[in-house]
Structure 1
Amino acid sequence: MKLMINHQTHYQYSDWTKNSIQYIKMTPQSNGHQYIHSWDVSVPGLKQIKRDAFNNVWLTSTQIEPYQQMLIMAQGVVEINFENQFGITDQLSPVLFLQPTATTLCNTEMLDFAQQYVPTIQLSNFQKLAEALLNYMPYTTASTSVTQTAMESFSMQQGVCQDHSHVFIAMAKALNVPARYVSGYLYVNNQSHLASHAWAEIFLEGQWHIIDVSNQLFRPESHVYVAIGRDYWDVAPVRGVRGQGGIETMHSIVQVLAC
């Protein structure tokens, strides 16, 4: 299945912004799950492309001239291998994804919840846990912020895909199962769904398995991989620093269409 993706991020500032740097992770790569027919990230300024510790493509853009608006646009065509059942393989040790992060810590209440559905370590039990989490934390648009931790999101009993992924990862790691955070895109017929997406994966029996809590999907049939890490902060699409600029406002437009 071929997908045409257009991801626009618009920034506006109440004052002139000077000397800013943007760190952008919005570039998918070809692998056993997907083939990138074309892809381009458009952003003003001087650009440099590197790889991060997780082998994600990391574009750095430096702006010297003052500005009050900025558009970052990523677009291209990606073909998904519909027969693939697992998360993508890489050269990283799964043990890396047992490392704790501030965002994916697990408290006693969360561990008790997880152990109800995962009395033994097997994939079907983790899928039951994902179902229970969505019932406990219904998907609620704009209910949280990117700064929230797994423990905070779990206590609120609601969230979006980022929160679902963080909570699930925290629980899996507390059960001593490697778990990672994946950012990317999701193709769905319902265009009201935000196509920019995040999900979790766990490492069992020598394979990475997708656990998309928000959509209750356990095969990557509709998913495009962009970046992999331990939590959101490892894969954030755009992070940066700036001088001045006043108040920042941002909105995104994402389209994922079959072609």
Structure 2
Amino acid sequence: MRLSISHDTTYHYEDQVRASIQYLRVTPHDSERQHVISWQLKLPHPVRAQLDPFGNILHVLTLDEPHDTVVIGAHGEVEIDEHREAEHEDHSALPFLRSTSLTSADEAMREFAVQHCQQRRDRAALIDLMHALNAHISYLPGSTETGTSAAEAFAGRQGVCQDQAHAFLACTRSLGIPARYVSGYLFTGDDEQLASHAWAEAWLDDAWYSFDVTNCLAIAERHLKLAVGLDYLDACPVRGVRRGGGGEQMNAKLAAPPQLRARAQ
């Protein structure tokens, strides 16, 4: 399946920003499951690509001149292997056993993980855990914030894809299984739309397997991966700091051109 992405994000500020730095993880890389045919960033000025500690392609956009608008564009085509169930990597998975403030499991979550997995530590057990978390944490946009922890979303029983992925990471790591956060895009075939999305991967049998709690999918057949990390903060597409500017408004335009939607069916 070939996916085409056209994603433009515009940030408007109430007052002039004196200076800003944006950390951009909006460029996919080749893997066993996806092949980047073409990809281009449209930024206020050219920026050199580098790799972050997790192997993500990172661009650091620094604006030293006063500005009240920043436009970030990402456009390209990626071929997805819909049938690949796992991805292999040479890097150690052990760092992904570490919890963060967003992914720490409390006693209730540890008990939940054991209840649904028992002594099993295989893919079937994590699929059961994925379905259980989908039923426990209802998808409700606006019910949480970017700083909401997995334990808070679990206790409140509602959240968005970020919260459901964090909860899966917390539970899985509590079982001694390395797991990581994934950010990217999801092609929803029913209405031919693209959406920014988050899911998780777990290290089983020397490979990474995907678990999309929001959609109860154990194969990332319509997912385009941008970045991975210990949690949202490591893998979010855009993260930055600025001096001045006051309030901020963000507008995003994400689409797949009609001719490439058809190729993705």
- TM above 0.5: yes
Partner of 1:178: 178
C-alpha contact 1:13 1:68 (8 A) present in aligned 2: yes
CA offsets, 1:73-100, max 9 Å, x none?
11101111123111x3222211111012
2:108 counterpart SS class: helix
C-alpha contact 2:193 2:255 (8 A) present in aligned 1: no
1:186 counterpart SS class: strand
Moved more, 205-214 or 245-254: 245-254
Partner of 2:158: 158
1:46 CA drift (Å): 5.3
1:201 CA drift (Å): 1.0
Tell me how far apart the structure 2 counterparts of residues 147 and 13 of structure 1 sit (CA, whole Å): 22
C-alpha contact 2:187 2:193 (8 A) present in aligned 1: no
Q: 2:20 corresponds to which letter in structure 1? A: S
Tell me how far apart the structure 2 counterparts of residues 215 and 5 of structure 1 sit (CA, whole Å): 21
Q: 1:172 corresponds to which letter in structure 2? A: T
Cα 1:54–1:217 shift into 2, 3 Å? same
Tell me how far apart the structure 1 counterparts of residues 191 and 103 of structure 2 sit (CA, whole Å): 30
Alignment of 1:1-259 (within 5 A): 1-45=1-45, 47-86=47-86, 88-119=87-118, 120-191=120-191, 195-256=195-256, 258=261, 259=263
Q: 1:60 corresponds to which letter in structure 2? A: V
CA offsets, 1:171-226, max 9 Å, x none?
10011011111111111124497611110111112221111000111111111111
Listed as ranges, the gaps of 5+ residues in structure 1 are: none
Q: 2:63 corresponds to which letter in structure 1? A: Q
Cα 1:36–1:46 shift into 2, 3 Å? closer
CA offsets, 1:111-169, max 9 Å, x none?
11111110021211211111111111111122211111111111110111110000000
Tell me how far apart the structure 1 counterparts of residues 67 and 190 of structure 2 sit (CA, whole Å): 36
Cα 1:59–1:82 shift into 2, 3 Å? same
C-alpha contact 1:169 1:179 (8 A) present in aligned 2: yes
Tell me how far apart the structure 2 counterparts of residues 183 and 123 of structure 1 sit (CA, whole Å): 21
2:138 counterpart SS class: coil
1:242 counterpart SS class: strand
1:48 CA drift (Å): 2.8
1:47 counterpart SS class: coil
Same amino acid, percent of matched pairs: 38
C-alpha contact 2:103 2:150 (8 A) present in aligned 1: yes
TM-score, normalization by structure 1? 0.95
TM-score, normalization by structure 2? 0.93
C-alpha contact 1:10 1:70 (8 A) present in aligned 2: yes
Q: 2:14 corresponds to which letter in structure 1? A: S
Tell me how far apart the structure 2 counterparts of residues 55 and 193 of structure 1 sit (CA, whole Å): 28
C-alpha contact 1:45 1:62 (8 A) present in aligned 2: no
Tell me how far apart the structure 1 counterparts of residues 163 and 124 of structure 2 sit (CA, whole Å): 22
Tell me how far apart the structure 1 counterparts of residues 190 and 10 of structure 2 sit (CA, whole Å): 23
C-alpha contact 2:43 2:72 (8 A) present in aligned 1: yes
C-alpha contact 2:8 2:74 (8 A) present in aligned 1: yes
